[in-house]
């Protein structure tokens, strides 16, 4: 029995193949630019570096905005996209997804002195409240259908190009809430020097996956690596490092 088990555990060898991975660097602690060193770091970088090591491919990283990323990967401009991308059926029409590497839940990120509402129902009733969002993201649809009234044209959602711009608008009072997965939200709260907080309960669970061009021959090797990294505790160790151990801006 030992021989088949060993054979199944052996990962593909991509023999130094060049692979370009695109990300947004806007979701701490998944991927972001360290304010001290200026280096792009995070959970996804560590995970992808380890995947590249296990599969023996040569990594190059690129940067793109969220609204351009799925189209760019779909067109084959990049081999893999990573930026906390929720696995959704409508996106599967454009790109292939890896197996999930993380499960996320959405929360409401607000200013620390916010007292007008404390959960989704109270925010919906607060009819002057504005949500910051990026068009086409899971958080946009969660805001429309789980927080507001189901109208995708609602004037209560203000659109931004990047997640970082949403957070800045929240801090300056241009919007009143930003939806974020709990892990990234904790990163922003920790980095805010007491200016931000998370309120309310989770607004639904989402699975994150890497995106690849349709039919990419990298899907199976990447999935094999994800399974191995889950099984040997590597992903758990990265989660402890980035979500419990790392402190933004320190």
pTM over 0.85: no
**Which residues, in sequence order, are bridge partners of residue 213?**
95
Phi-psi region of 236 (alpha: psi -120 to 50; beta: other; left: phi over 0): alpha
Closest listed residue to residue 169, CA positions, set 105, 106, 110: 110
Amino acid 249: pLDDT: 54
Span 112-152, pLDDT tens digits: 999 999 999 999 999 999 999 998 888 898 999 999 999 99
**pLDDT tens-digit profile of 33-61?**
998 899 999 999 999 999 999 999 999 99
3-state secondary structure of 41: strand
What confidence score (pLDDT) does residue 182 get? 78
Digit-by-digit pLDDT tens for the chain (250 residues) are 333 333 345 899 999 999 999 999 988 889 999 988 999 999 999 999 999 999 999 999 999 998 899 999 999 999 999 999 999 999 999 999 999 999 888 899 999 999 999 999 999 999 999 999 998 888 898 999 999 999 999 999 999 988 889 999 999 999 999 998 777 788 788 888 999 999 998 997 789 999 999 999 999 999 999 999 999 999 999 988 987 777 665 5
Classified as helix, coil or strand, 197 is: strand
Nearest to 235 by CA among 99, 96, 80, 36: 99
């Amino acid at each position: 029995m030992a021989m088949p088990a060993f054979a199944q555990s052996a990962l593909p060898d991509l023999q130094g193949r060049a692979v370009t991975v695109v990300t947004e660097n806007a979701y701490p602690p998944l991927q972001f630019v360290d304010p001290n060193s200026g280096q792009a770091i995070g959970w996804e970088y560590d995970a992808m570096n380890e995947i590249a090591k296990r599969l023996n491919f040569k990594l190059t990283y690129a940067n793109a905005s969220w609204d351009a990323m799925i189209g760019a990967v779909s067109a084959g401009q990049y081999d893999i996209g990573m930026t906390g991308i929720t696995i959704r059926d409508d996106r599967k029409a454009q790109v292939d997804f890896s197996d999930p590497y993380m499960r996320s839940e959405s929360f409401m990120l607000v200013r620390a002195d916010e007292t007008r509402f404390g959960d989704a129902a109270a925010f919906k009733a607060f009819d002057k409240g504005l949500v910051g969002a990026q068009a086409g993201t899971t958080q946009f649809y969660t805001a429309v259908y789980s927080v507001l009234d189901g109208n995708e044209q609602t004037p209560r959602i203000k659109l931004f190009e990047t997640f970082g711009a949403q957070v800045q608008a929240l801090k300056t009072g241009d919007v009143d809430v930003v939806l974020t997965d709990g892990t990234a939200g904790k990163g922003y709260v920790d980095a805010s020097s007491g200016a931000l907080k998370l309120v309310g309960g989770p607004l639904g669970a989402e699975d994150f996956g890497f995106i690849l061009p349709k039919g990419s021959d990298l899907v199976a090797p990447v999935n094999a690596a994800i399974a191995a990294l889950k099984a040997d505790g590597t992903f758990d160790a990265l989660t402890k490092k980035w979500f419990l151990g790392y402190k933004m801006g320190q």
